[in-house]
Chain A
Amino acid sequence: MIPAAFDYVRAEDVRTALTALADGGEDAKVLAGGQSLIPMLRLRLAAPTLLVDVGGVGELRGVRDDGDALVIGSMTTHDELMNDALVREHAPLVAQAAATVADRQVRHVGTFGGSLAHADPAGDLPGVTLALDATFSVMGPGGARDVPASEFFVDYLTTALRPDDLLISVRVPKLPGWRTHYEKFQQAAQAWAVVGVATAVRRSNGTVDEARVALTSMGSTPVRAHTVEAALAGAPATADALAEAAGRAADGTTPMSDGIASADYRSHLARVLTRRALEAATG
């Protein structure tokens, strides 16, 4: 299959990208790595009239240490996330989850920002940013603004980005003293996550001081398992307590039933995987 025809602008910098997007109107779309978009174009499930290619914009790429956080450029590839020394040290959850995205070839091209802006609820990285309370730096015609992860994912394949917005970078807090784990369940190596669980746990002695749990594929957006987090706050870091809290992982979620799994099974997996993720992050 071949995509329907479209116009193309190769942006040299953020300014030209924003101008092109503004000129392109509703049917303009940002082309990042294209690893989700191009298959959709080929199947003609999407037919933008203009693609603004930001893959070559240097200022959007790379990882910067900003004191208590990392600032990750939106065009940083999954492969770079996996291998970046700063990410591995200060945001190991991001590196771990990035390594599970698709396959090597896709990770060489696909970008952090691209997968976040695509906002597939089965994607691995949206849930991770949610668990880490990351902040999204967005630029639009009206200037720059910050959007917290909790407000970025609006609905299925829908984010707080407007058509003429560009995701510039993501600020990921360093979380010293926390341990993290991403637990992903797939039916086959190439398949999307049936359910994924991103956890971050801070503990002292035998007690969980604070825990964050974000779920992939348990609704139209990634979601935080707040009841689990509440149950864990101050709980003993014992297998029983973790299991008890994990048992509430599906509470309040609205998982889909689709060709991959039923809602029931997803809920069951959410509980099992949350327990396993917590065990890994506290063990």
Chain B
Amino acid sequence: MTVTEDRAGREVGRDRRRKEDARLITGRTMWTDNVSLPGMLHLAILRSPMSHARIDGIDASAARSMPGVVDVITGRDVADVQGSLPCAWTVTPDMAHPDHPPLAVDEVRFAGEPVAVVAARDHATALDALEAIEVAYEPLPAVMDIEDALADGSPLVHQSLGTNKSFTWAFDSAEEGTGGDAAAAIDAADVVVRRRYVQQRVIPAFMEPRSVVVDPTPDQITVWSSTQVPHFVRFFLAAVLGTPEHKIRVIAPDVGGGFGGKLQITAEEFISFLVAQRLRKPVKYTESRSEAMLSAHHGRDMIQDVDVAADRDGTVTALRVRLLANMGGYLRLLTPATPLLGRYMYNGIYKFPAHRFECTGVFTTTTPTDAYRGAGRPEATFAIERVMDDLAAELGMDPVELRRRNWIERDEFPFTTVTGLTYDSGDYAAATDKAMGLLGYDELRREQAERRAAGDRVQLGIGVSTYTEMCGLAPSRWLGSLGYAAGGWESAIVRMLPTGKVEVLTGTSPHGQGHETAWSQIVADQLGVPFEDIEVMHGDTRTSHKGLDTYGSRSLAVGGYALVEACKRVVEKARPMAAHLLECDPADLEFVDGSYRVKGTPGASKSITECALAIFAAHDLPDGVEPYLDADASYDPVDFSFPHGTHLCAAEVDTETGQVRLRSYVAVDDIGKVVNPLIVEGQVHGGVAQGIAQALFEEAIYDEDGNLMTGTFVEYTIPSSADLPDIVTDRTETPAPGHPLGAKGVGEAGTIASTPAVVNAVVDALRPYGVTDVRMPCTPERVWQAIRNGGGRP
């Protein structure tokens, strides 16, 4: 080690243990539900027990007169002031976009929709009062099936629209000039595989139920909310409810997970805000888990009709995709855009010459759908990776070989795909080869053959999933061109205090991702200060007022870039001071390891912390230097980043009971340069677990009347530690060109890749039984049924 060792890179790339942990492992945490204010009232929300009904009247007189009840407010009471919950993405100019009143006024359109709110001295009293409210419902027909809902004569979710269709969005590579005619290619193909895959409805099920506290002082209204998007919440409270934006402060304190489920502007936030304003008292609303299951948005829920055409040698000639996506009863923040976020990704990592895509959004009397980890991209990856396996089976090829034949080679990047996206970098072969080695692919294939030959009760399947995702939401120009109301930039403020300690304000809003740690690592390297000397603040619109929050694997890819830029500006800002102190020309200074050094003059240097103190003292400031050392920067990416990877899994299927046991799981991800490998590994573990959960365990099920049958964790099966396999992770590293950290994004990768890997493994195990698909989740009964229906034993 030499004294001139470059500081840069000392922190980035290192397995730093997280700063956040200290409070989380000791219970000294600030969850929203921990906030308690003098005089605070507690809210309880009455929710519709019916999926579709007209509200003929509400009698709350008995509830109002109960001891301890301060008020009961119905939709009619606030009809003129409550506005409509926002949908921020108009995906087609003619998109049907009905109002979504926070408290239903005349009609309810999903079970669980809020119809009244009680404010009381304590939570138990508020809950008791709910039982005293009488609502006269006139039942209307439930609309549950998205295909039936589009048929003529179907009952309507929104009578005034005259249809249950919200939009149809289409892409055709021939029309766009990005490729050939998919329909013609399919007609002319040697082989066509046509499949219908069903993305079941799932529930994000963040562990912390949502909670809102609103404190309406005469000066300002402060909102604490368990949200991923405090900046959005502030904007929409102001824009919709008319309270001046500068009078609203939104704080996302410790937030217990989100996974897209807290990327929302919620009815509960609006209702709490309205009640607090009306009663001029602080209020708290904390949902129960069973309320969260009904009211927080759901994810996925679409039917995918996929046709893939290929030559006999396995070269794919066209892909055609038709989606029906369930919107639920209303459009929420990103409801219509969620299925479309995968619209450019159905071609996956492949060089397809022709592509057609069409997606129709359909209203039903169910809880609205919206973003869930991956949002559109897991669905796209599932469809393409499942159908590639089915095509391989049809052609009698190994599924990896078929992928090799079609994927983009490493020397072909940047590569513009058939959908018009330009992939920045990647090495699909490297990731796949590594994954196959880690899994022991060839050995498992041999074992599989032996078990098949022996007719073992327990069969073995190997699942392959290769993926890429567009992440780092997102270029503002791109978002604007597609009808999104906001941008995709991110911001950071870095200030060095007089003693050399550093405060960082980020516009990202973490809820488990460890930004306090990773951002500190980045700043430590950029400014040459110790990791411990950096404090990262987030999630408060008063302090970090500029930001667009955390979702879409964007925080590092976009916010990290802004942070690096802000640090560079701080370095530049102190440079004249350093030059002044060293009595040299600023241009003669180099900034290394936290110090400005005079080039060619060993020993002549000033640390940036010395400069910070001198700047603060301001006794002898050079011209043009202001008496504080801080800077901010924003970043708006010009394009997405495209991480990729290969996930493989081996599944044992008990052909008697249908039970699936995952024997091994290997994830090799290429997410560019890594700031903190420990955090990245954790993101992959969690993402893989959620993807496995969709493949094997979870489904939100409604009965024909629109009652949610999986309304608690008893019926909605979140896998526990005993249900999940050991996950082997590894990486390849193809840096993101044009990013100062070379970083891509990792938050969603595991979820995107794992679901098809698992289902492919299950189907692979059972192909000798004539099984070509098992609907998710692949429960033992579904697997058993598939074997029964497959029409054969090996």
Chain A residues with a Cβ under 8 A of chain B: 1-2, 4-5, 43-44, 185, 187-192, 194, 259, 261-262, 265, 268-269, 272-273
Contacts and interface: CB of A to CB of B under 8 A. Distances in A.
19 contacts: A1-B288, A1-B290, A5-B124, A43-B712, A187-B697, A187-B717, A188-B697, A188-B719, A188-B720, A189-B722, A190-B717, A190-B718, A190-B720, A194-B780, A259-B710, A261-B781, A262-B781, A265-B785, A273-B657
B781 A259 contact: no
A188 B717 CA distance: 7
B187 interface: no
Contact of A189 (B124, B659, B723): B723
B701 A259 contact: yes
B128 interface: yes
Chief secondary structure at chain B's binding surface: loop
Nearest to A262: B781
A268 B784 contact: yes
B533 interface: no
B62 interface: no
B243 interface: no
Contacts of A43: 290, 712
Contacts of B697: 187-188
B127 interface: yes
Contact of B780 (A5, A187, A192): A187
Contacts of A262: 781
A273 B127 CA distance: 44
Given A1-B288, A2-B124, A185-B657, A265 B712 contact: no
B709 A187 contact: no
Chief secondary structure at chain A's binding surface: loop
Contacts of B659: 185
Interface string B89-125: 0000000000000000000000000000000000110
Contacts of A2: 123-124, 127
Contact of B784 (A188, A192, A265): A265
Given A43-B290, A187-B779, A188-B723, A1 B127 contact: yes
B66 to A, nearest CB: 12
B590 interface: no
A261 B656 CA distance: 15
A188 B779 CA distance: 10
Given A188-B720, A190-B720, A259 B709 contact: yes
Interface in B693-751: 697, 701, 709-710, 712-715, 717-723
Nearest 5 Cβ contacts at the A-B interface: A189-B722, A265-B781, A1-B288, A2-B124, A189-B720
Interface of B: 123-124, 127-128, 131, 288, 290, 656-657, 659, 697, 701, 709-710, 712-715, 717-723, 779-781, 784-785
Contacts, number: 53
B705 to A, nearest CB: 14
Nearest to B659: A185
A108 B713 CA distance: 21
Nearest to B777: A187
Nearest to A269: B657
Contacts of B718: 190
Nearest to B287: A1
B660 to A, nearest CB: 10
Nearest to B289: A1
Contacts of B713: 190
Contacts of A265: 780-781, 784-785
Nearest to B127: A2
A185 B723 CA distance: 13
Contacts of B780: 185, 187, 194, 265
Given A1-B288, A4-B131, A189-B722, 20 more contacts: A1-B127, A2-B124, A4-B128, A5-B124, A5-B128, A43-B290, A185-B659, A187-B717, A187-B780, A188-B722, A189-B720, A190-B713, A190-B717, A261-B781, A262-B781, A265-B780, A265-B781, A265-B784, A265-B785, A269-B657
A244 B425 CA distance: 61
A192 B290 CA distance: 19
A115 to B, nearest CB: 16
A104 to B, nearest CB: 11
Contacts of A4: 128, 131
A192 B288 CA distance: 22
A272 B712 contact: no
Contact of B715 (A44, A259, A273): A259
A272 B717 CA distance: 24
A261 to B, nearest CB: 5
A194 B784 CA distance: 14
Contacts of A5: 124, 128
A44 B124 CA distance: 12
Contact of B717 (A44, A185, A191, A268): A191
A76 to B, nearest CB: 25
Contacts of A1: 127, 288, 290
A122 to B, nearest CB: 11
- Which has the most chain B C-beta neighbours within 10 Å: A188, A259, A273? A188
B118 to A, nearest CB: 13
A272 B659 CA distance: 12
Nearest to A1: B288
A71 to B, nearest CB: 33
Contacts of B712: 43
Nearest to A185: B657
A2 B288 CA distance: 9
Contact of A272 (B127, B657, B721): B657
B486 to A, nearest CB: 36
Contacts of A191: 717
A188 to B, nearest CB: 5
A187 B131 CA distance: 35
Contacts of B781: 261-262, 265
A268 B788 CA distance: 12
A5 B712 CA distance: 22
A246 to B, nearest CB: 12
Contacts of B714: 192
Contacts of A273: 657
A239 to B, nearest CB: 13
Given A188-B717, A190-B720, A261-B781, A272 B709 contact: no
A261 B779 CA distance: 10
A33 B113 CA distance: 35
Contacts of B722: 188-189
A191 B785 CA distance: 20
B653 to A, nearest CB: 14
Contacts of B779: 187
Contacts of B719: 188-189
Contacts of B710: 259
B69 to A, nearest CB: 15
A261 B701 CA distance: 13
B43 to A, nearest CB: 14
A189 B721 CA distance: 8
A265 B719 CA distance: 22
Contacts of A194: 780
Contacts of A189: 719-723
A155 to B, nearest CB: 21
A185 B784 CA distance: 14
Contacts of A272: 656-657
Contacts of A269: 657
A45 to B, nearest CB: 11
